[in-house]
Structure 1
Amino acid sequence: MELYLIRHTAPAVEKGICYGRADIPLAHTADTDIQRALAPLPRFDLIYSSPAQRCTRLANALAERDGCELRLAPELQELHFGQWEQLPWARIPREHSDTWAADPWNRAPPGGETEQALWTRVATWYRAAFPAAVSCCAIVAHGGPLRVLRCLALGQCMEQRWSWSLAWGEHARFVLPPG
């Protein structure tokens, strides 16, 4: 099966704002950005998307273009930053953010989740996600879940998650072995 990992297009958020699971809208250039992202992509049999509007706009455009099913997967949401969501990073006390940043795999922002929880959530979903009849599937999501999915598709360990990323609206293609 061919698997395409696609990052949503640019969000409408000020630089320096902490956001993860917050459902922020897309930038004013969204329509143009979405058309640019669609152009090089093949036709899909099935599309999965994070339920965040910054993902569903692109996912809906793909599903409409291809006449295929779109399934929303809450497991594909970005890392939850809890009480830090939508705060400027500069307003988060350094002693808190530095402690978290020193070990985000095991530490969570207040009321948020660890990267280990993100990995577990995405990996559990991934193991059951793909029907046998699907030959070409797209996943529209956020940077964090896409890094996890890449590691899973390539059989890499979690330590490899930060060695790769996609820009806004960019995609990567993987060929998964049968079964």
Structure 2
Amino acid sequence: MELYLIRHTAPAVASGVCYGQTDVPLAETAEQDIQAALAPLPRFERIYSSPAQRCSRLAKVLAQRDACDVTLAPELQELHFGHWEQLPWARIPREHSDPWAADTWNLAPPGGETEQALWTRVASWYRTALSPTASRCAIVAHGGSLRVLRCLILGLPVEDRWSWTLKWGEHARFERP
């Protein structure tokens, strides 16, 4: 099975703001950004997307182009930053953010989740959700969940999750064994 991991297009968020699972709108250039993201992509039989509008909007346009279904998967959401959501990173006290940044795998922002929890939910979805009959699928999601998926697809350890990223609207193709 061919899997295309596709990162959502740019959101309308001020630089330096923590937004994780907050359903922020897309940038004013969304329509052009979506068309640019779609241009190099092949046709898909199945599309999966985070429910956040910054992902689902791209997924729905892609599904309409390819005359296929979109399955919204909450498990593909970005890391939940809890009480830090929508705060400028500069307003989060360093005595709270520094310990978290030193161990994001085991520590969660207040009211949020650890990277281990993100990994667990994405891995659970990956093991069970993909259609076995589709030969080419698209997954439209966020930087964090896409990093996890890449590691799972390639059989990489969790420590490799930060060695790769996609830019807004960028995609990467993988073969699922």
Same fold (TM over 0.5): yes
Unmatched segments (≥5 aa) in structure 2: none
In 1, the alpha carbon distance for the partners of 2:13 and 2:132 equals: 39
Match of 1:92 in 2: 92
In 1, the alpha carbon distance for the partners of 2:174 and 2:73 equals: 20
In 1, the alpha carbon distance for the partners of 2:23 and 2:86 equals: 10
Q: Deviations over 1:55-77 (max 9, x none)?
A: 01100000000000100000000
In 1, the alpha carbon distance for the partners of 2:176 and 2:63 equals: 21
In 2, the alpha carbon distance for the partners of 1:89 and 1:21 equals: 15
In 1, the alpha carbon distance for the partners of 2:132 and 2:117 equals: 27
In 1, the alpha carbon distance for the partners of 2:59 and 2:131 equals: 18
1:145, distance to aligned residue in structure 2 (A): 0.1
Query: Given residue 138 of structure 2, which amino acid in structure 1 is its aligned partner?
Result: A
Query: Given residue 167 of structure 1, which amino acid in structure 2 is its aligned partner?
Result: K
In 1, the alpha carbon distance for the partners of 2:154 and 2:51 equals: 25
In 1, the alpha carbon distance for the partners of 2:154 and 2:101 equals: 26
1:176, distance to aligned residue in structure 2 (A): 1.1
Match of 1:38 in 2: 38
In 2, the alpha carbon distance for the partners of 1:52 and 1:131 equals: 21
Match of 2:141 in 1: 141
In 1, the alpha carbon distance for the partners of 2:18 and 2:141 equals: 17
1:9, distance to aligned residue in structure 2 (A): 0.2
Match of 2:13 in 1: 13
1:175, distance to aligned residue in structure 2 (A): 0.9
Q: Deviations over 1:60-99 (max 9, x none)?
A: 0000000001000000000000000000111100000001
Query: Given residue 64 of structure 1, which amino acid in structure 2 is its aligned partner?
Result: Q
Query: Given residue 88 of structure 1, which amino acid in structure 2 is its aligned partner?
Result: P
Matches within 5 A, 1:13-162: 13-162=13-162
Question: In percent, how many aligned pairs have the same letter?
Answer: 76
TM-score normalised to the size of structure 1? 0.98
Aligned residues: 177
